[in-house]
Amino acid sequence: MRVTIGEIREMKQRGEKIPMLTAYDYAFAKIIDEVGVPLILVGDSLGMVMLGYESTIPVTMDEMIHHVKAVVRGTKHAMVIGDMPFMTYHVSMEDTMRNAARFIQEGGAQAVKLEGGEVVADKVSRLVSCGIPVQGHIGLTPQSVNQLGGYKVVGKTAEVAVRLLNDARALEEAGAFSIVLECIPAPLSQLITERVMVPTIGIGAGKGCNGQVQVVSDILGLFTDFVPKHAKQYARLNQTVTTAVTDYIAEVQAGDFPTTKQSYEMDKDILDQITA
Ligand code: KIV
């Protein structure tokens, strides 16, 4: 049985911190699920860390669905959340519903995430009323990078801080089951977390949030184009992979790989027959 939105809400009520991680493929999703992460986000960050785009803006629904399916196949327990890409929930209500439904029906995800506060509350409300759990996302919303003028901390002025508080309340009222707070000053995240009943999941938003989310490639040291200030590297997989591939090249070039251990034998009589 997979983690439910009710269980996530109860974690906040019990004061239990909620770990969330991104995953983009079968193999990593399987490990993350088996270790016990309750929320797995197939983030549109895959555009940057898996597909090599400069931002998340070019990511398409088809690309997202492809990765969501792989993650769903690799998981048994976690709730899988599909991240709605740029402009797939802005054009119209019909469009929003159709795209969100694809994540659930075609992709096999249990929930969707979309960026924005009050401005998307009507969409959140409609999705929830149709039985689609929605995770909100406010603060630094990477799909608006061109509007924000870069990847920066959001909420340092009184005006923006009040807007974020209102956004969080609007998402809660619309029925979001949790809200991602990205790159928001820690004291403001703490205040938002106290003012809403739904769990907040922070990324670069301090320890006062009810949970934390990170991009898996950042914490494993796999994506090294840049390392965000809020990311801690728990491993250096890029170094591990570099060493392994360098050793492989050296052994192939030296004729040391493969050995008999990695080779297949055949019946000597048959070999004699064909070489006679
Ligand atoms: O796309 C993503 O990975 C995200 C997380 C950083 C929250 O939106």
- The rounded average pLDDT for each run of 10 residues, N- to C-terminus, in the chain (276 residues) is 97 98 98 98 98 97 98 98 98 98 98 98 98 98 93 96 98 98 98 98 98 98 92 97 98 98 97 93
Q: 201 and 261 share a domain?
A: no
Taking the CA of residue 215 as reference, the ligand 1 atom at the shortest distance is 3
Please report the DSSP string for 230-273 in residue order: T---S--HHHHHHHHHHHHHHHHHHT-SS-GGGS----HHHHHH
The answer to whether 150 touches 173, Cβ cutoff 8 Å, is no
Q: Are residues 158 and 43 in the same domain?
A: yes
Pocket lining: 44 vs ligand 1, CB cutoff 6 Å: yes
256 and 170 in a common domain: no
**Model pTM score:** 0.96
Distance 43 CA to ligand 1 centre (A): 5
pLDDT at 180: 98
Residue 158 sits in the same domain as residue 251? no
E-assigned strand segments in the chain = 18-22, 39-42, 79-83, 111-113, 134-139, 178-182, 200-203, 211-214
Q: Is the peptide bond before 19 cis (omega within 30 degrees of 0)?
A: no
Is 251 among the residues known to form the active site? no
Same domain, 105 and 230: yes
Residues 162 and 264 in one domain: no
Query: Residue 28: what pLDDT?
Result: 98
Residues 260, 173 share a domain: no
**What separation in Å is there between the alpha carbon of 182 and the centre of ligand 1?**
9
Which residues constitute the domain of residue 101? 5-235
Question: How many angstroms does the Cα of residue 57 sit away from the middle of ligand 1?
Answer: 13
Number of domains in the chain: 2
227 and 249 part of one domain: no
201 and 247: one domain?
Answer: no
Question: Pocket of ligand 1, candidates 28, 113, 143: which has the most ligand atoms within 8 Å of its Cβ, to mutate?
Answer: 113
Give the domain CATH number at 41: 3.20.20.60
Are both 55 and 158 inside the same structural domain? yes
- What type of residue sits at position 51? L
Is there an atom of ligand 1 within 6 Å of 204 CB? no
**Which of 27, 79, 18, 19 has its CA nearest to residue 50?**
27
Task: Yes or no: say if 76 and 61 are a contact pair by the CB < 8 Å rule.
Answer: no
Asked if 103 and 169 sit in the same domain, the reply is yes
Instruction: Check whether residue 76 and residue 213 sit in a common domain.
Output: yes
pLDDT score for 276: 84
Is residue 145 within 8 Å of 102, Cβ to Cβ? no
